[in-house]
Structure 1
């Protein structure tokens, strides 16, 4: 059962978190492109699509920590420091996504036709970068697992 849970956890993490990370990182440049040419419906459509990708895959991504907890419980590592750190960083990443990235994207969508969006685009880009960095650290912790008995 552990192998199944770990496999499902990794697959869902790749399928759900990967698209959010990529779409979030592409969002600010897409907003800047849409602001350069407010009459370009395609550019505005790209911004809208990237935001939709972030929302949909963020919702799917909720299953990643659920499967992670089930996997950790089956492996007997729920109290390990590397896992507790990963859980905390996952919570921070989810908070950054839910409280900064997604609302910031929505605000930019609402004002895509004004120059006021340029400053907000920078803020969303920074929040998206932080989100990506947090997930990178969590991924490394999941692979390296300090103190692991696997010999790594």
Structure 2
């Protein structure tokens, strides 16, 4: 068994291709500063856009479902630093809910939550006082019932 390989001489490369930028010599100071400013402006703009997108996603995720079509409660208004909701089918107004809230004999404490859900039953006012919105998370609520 024999192996034969022919050896040929390597041709020398005599021409080197050079880009036009390098032929002109060093870049001027103004063009270098312009490129740096252009790149940094692009990076800052991209960062601002990403931050706005994250803020929008967080804001949409954390906002209570006030007028969601599949929600049981709908947003009614705000009174005395409480956010007040009502059942979707109920045609009660904010002034009627405020009157029912003011006529309660049982005191409602703000540390139990600032979300009030009003359910009207015959001869009965029911308030759910929650720390967080019912539609967004596992609710932590107390019930206040009072006959009128």
Q: TM-score range by the shorter chain?
A: under 0.3
User: Does 1 or 2 have the higher relative contact order (CA < 8 Å, sep 6+)?
Assistant: 1
Point out the structure with max Rg over C-alpha.
2
TM-score (norm 2): 0.23
Going by fraction, where is strand more abundant, 1 or 2? 2
